[in-house]
Amino acid sequence: MKLVIAGKGGSGKTSISGTMARLLGRDGYGVLAIDADSNPNLALTLGVPAEEMGKVPTLPRDLLRRTPEGTELAKTIEEICKSHSLPAPDNVTLLVMAHPQHAGTG
């Protein structure tokens, strides 16, 4: 199952996403939560302690490579999770997308 939560700023996307991820994880599902927000706070909602948040590695920009058909991952999801994820409570694994490099790029 794949779920995407989208909406305007301040509409509760992070709260809904984090709560849903934890509830699904508690029900026995393995959950991969991806924080693609330019202001990433999903870790807190998932119950990751504030002192651990700095240890969440962001995904490098070179994980995608161009092909004649479009783009593809340069590594498998398993490889990406092994090197760039952080375990969160309730059977949830967190990935954080690359942060904006400078103002106006988020």
Share of the chain above pLDDT 70, in %: 92
Per the rule left: phi > 0, alpha: psi between -120 and 50, beta: everything else, 70 is left
22-69 pLDDT, tens digit each: 999 999 999 999 998 888 889 999 999 988 887 877 788 888 899 999
Helix residue ranges, H only, the chain:
13-26, 42-45, 50-53, 77-84
